């Protein structure tokens, strides 16, 4: 979910500020209005956390280009000025796009390596900082960097991880956030890694099992289409040429062939569009549940378990 900053003024004229998470700007404004009613203040603005492009220079050195996430352009200007740079320009990035798709193997690898490092008694913050430099996938790397920054600022670990459900996955985000507050991080990371590995292997085996039937069906469909659209009409035309009456089945097939060749574009769209719609539906949470209800149900029940009762809740850096 995206982050939004709420700026407001209390009834006594004192400025207030807060950060919330929401799917869209509309939802963020609705949450801000609700908070304003509950806490008795007036909302002056709601800013989305965006990416800003900047160019700075120091003295006669070569200008440096970069990008920084912030809520306003003024924040970036002030931060760069405090670092001693002369700001050439700061502008909002026009096309940010959403987080890219993170392959399952990348998430599994991150959780597995994390579990191994935790068993080696490496401090959690140091482990996160080290892994950021080794992650190749940009979306996952940015997500881990953002999580690490939130944890350093003292934010709740569950919220920090769950904010990046799109990159990590719902199950992994929930479990890793919970592990960060538990007294047995290594065990929860290890269990999460095993579950993700089994899930990834299941998907891989399912795809492998479906490849041959799908290829066979495609080849069969192409062969039948080629026969009906090209070979059969050429053969049947010989009978028509000599004015031989065609059998009812042959005549019906010939009409079908003429219909297919005349409406090939519409027929192709009628086949492709449902496949695309089903693919998009299968990528949603509801679609995943319908596709693999048993596995999804196991995941949901696992998420609802109260691990805090089993392991207890301790500070993030507790030994």
For 229-272, how does the pLDDT look when each residue is reduced to its tens digit (9 = 90+)? 777 777 777 776 767 777 777 777 777 777 777 777 888 788 88
Cα separation, 4 vs 20, whole angstroms: 5
Which residue has better confidence, 16 or 294?
16
What is the rounded average pLDDT of the residues 287-291? 53
The CATH number, out of the four listed (2.30.30, 2.40.160, 3.90.320, 3.10.20), of the domain defined by the range 49-97: 3.10.20
**Is 10's pLDDT higher than 60?**
yes
**How is domain 1-48 classified at the architecture level of CATH?**
Roll (3.10)
Cβ neighbours of residue 164 under 8 Å, at least 6 residues apart? 99, 143, 146, 147, 173
Nearest to 75 by CA among 7, 137, 26: 7
The CATH 3.10.20 domain(s) of the chain lie at 1-48, 49-97
Residue 293 — very low, low, confident or very high, per pLDDT cuts 50/70/90? Answer: very low
Cα separation, 216 vs 213, whole angstroms: 5
Query: Residue 5's Cα: distance from chain center in Å?
Result: 23
Residue 186 — very low, low, confident or very high, per pLDDT cuts 50/70/90? Answer: confident
The model's pTM: 0.52
Contact present, 76 and 83 (Cβ < 8 Å):
no
Q: What percent of the chain has pLDDT over 90?
A: 0
Average pLDDT, the chain: 78
Nearest to 125 by CA among 154, 105, 148, 104: 148
What pLDDT shows up at residue 306? 41
Cα separation, 7 vs 36, whole angstroms: 10
At 78-136, the pLDDT tens digits run 888 888 888 888 888 876 655 556 788 888 888 888 888 888 888 877 788 888 877 88
Contact present, 28 and 20 (Cβ < 8 Å):
yes
């Amino acid at each position: 979910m995206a982050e939004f900053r709420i700026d407001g003024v209390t009834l006594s004229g004192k400025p207030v500020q807060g950060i919330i998470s929401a799917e869209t700007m509309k939802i963020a404004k609705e949450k801000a209005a609700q908070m304003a009613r509950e806490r008795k203040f007036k909302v002056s603005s709601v800013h989305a956390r965006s990416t800003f492009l900047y160019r700075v220079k120091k003295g006669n050195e070569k200008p440096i280009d970069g990008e920084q996430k912030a809520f306003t352009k003024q924040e970036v200007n002030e931060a760069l000025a405090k670092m001693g740079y002369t700001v050439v320009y700061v502008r909002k990035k026009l096309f940010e796009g959403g987080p890219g798709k993170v392959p399952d193997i990348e998430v599994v690898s991150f959780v597995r390596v994390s579990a191994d490092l935790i068993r080696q008694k490496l401090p959690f913050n140091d482990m996160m900082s080290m892994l950021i430099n080794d992650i190749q996938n940009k979306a996952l790397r940015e997500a881990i960097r953002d999580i690490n920054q939130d944890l350093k600022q003292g934010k709740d670990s569950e919220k920090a991880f769950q904010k990046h459900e799109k990159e990590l996955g719902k199950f992994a985000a929930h479990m890793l956030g919970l592990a960060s507050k538990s007294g047995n991080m290594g065990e929860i990371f290890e269990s999460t890694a095993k579950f993700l590995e089994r899930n990834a292997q299941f998907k891989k085996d399912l795809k492998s099992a479906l490849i041959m039937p799908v290829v066979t069906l495609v080849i069969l469909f192409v062969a039948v289409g080629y026969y009906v659209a090209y070979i059969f009409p050429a053969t049947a035309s010989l009978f028509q040429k000599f004015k031989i009456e065609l059998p009812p089945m042959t005549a019906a097939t010939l009409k079908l062939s003429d219909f297919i060749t005349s409406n090939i574009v519409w027929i192709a769209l009628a086949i492709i569009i449902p496949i695309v719609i089903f693919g998009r539906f299968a990528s949603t949470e509801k679609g995943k549940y319908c596709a693999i209800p048993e596995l999804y149900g196991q995941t949901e029940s696992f998420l609802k378990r109260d691990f805090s009762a089993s392991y207890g809740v301790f500070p993030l850096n507790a030994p």
